[in-house]
Amino acid sequence: DTAPTGHTLRLLAFPEFLDNLLGKVVALKARLLAAIGLLKGVLGGNDPTDKIEAAVARLQRWRDRVASLRELLTDEDVTDFVVVGIPSRLAVAECARLLSALADQGVPVSHLIVNQVVDGASSTAYLDRIRAEQGRELKRLDGSSPLGELSLSRLPFFDLEMRGVFPLQYVASQAFRGTNADAWEDLLADQKDRFVLVGGKGGVGKTTTSASLAVQFATDGHSTLLVSTDPAHSLGDALETDLSSGEVVRVEGVAGASLYACEVKVDDAVAEFKRLVGGVSSDEGGA
């Protein structure tokens, strides 16, 4: 369950940014050590070489982890990105931009979920206008745009919030079973470890989609960890489970395999990275 589109694209670009940053730090190390060699006589016993080597080694370990993350995000055998939207012009346009950006970064995408589709059961003028607008945008999704190449799953507009395991199981039955079953069969039946990301414009139902997909995975016998990287967390609300600790919590009420969930404390993760970089800066400052 990712943050809205712009935040998610920055998150996915982070491995490349960090790799470039660490490459510059490693290159700087060589220049620092060369300068220290020239100044050893002046420094006397205060040789900071070991501190610099240790700091750069810590960063190199981060660089290795980031390289593994980049490989994971672009490996179509283990990673899927599910684009989520609603049938409105702004949301469809943002879905198209997201798909283009993911393609540029090499992230595999094969599914598109469209939420809040109004069916023809009601005849009020207001809903008629909504259906007409949605119909135009759904034609765009079914047409010749790159979004038309994805497996499209349509979900109806629910007249109440779908919160808790049992309502999410119903959402899953509409999204991943029935008329949509063929589109999701390979992913749900795959016995390998999978890494599935769900993203899209704010307010289109990403959290409900990711939570219902996780419930379906667990119901089908896959031990599943559902993680929210959105700073404005609502995953715990959707699951009706307290995730405020930032720790991994088991979600009760799912028949099949185990379902766990976690809301990443983004501020804490950023602070940890700043401490790492700040520690390197302090070591270099001592030189």
State pLDDT tens for residues 181-205.
Answer: 999 999 999 988 999 999 888 888 8
**pTM beyond 0.85, yes or no:** no
User: For tokens 């063929």, what's the residue?
Assistant: 182
Contact between 76 and 102 (Cβ < 8 Å): no
Distance CA 25, CA 22 (A): 5
Q: What is the pLDDT of residues 104-158, one digit of tens each?
A: 888 899 999 999 888 766 567 777 888 888 888 888 887 767 888 899 999 988 8
With 0-12 / 13-18 / 19 or more C-beta atoms within 10 angstroms meaning exposed / middle / buried, residue 60 is: middle
pLDDT-derived band of residue 287, with 50, 70 and 90 as boundaries? Answer: very low
Distance CA 177, CA 184 (A): 8
Can you tell me whether residue 250 is helix, strand or coil?
A: strand
What's the angle, vertex CA 174, arms to CA 238 and CA 5, rounded to 5?
Answer: 55
User: For tokens 């401490």, what's the residue?
Assistant: 275
The closest of 186, 259, 188 to 224, measured between CA atoms, is: 259
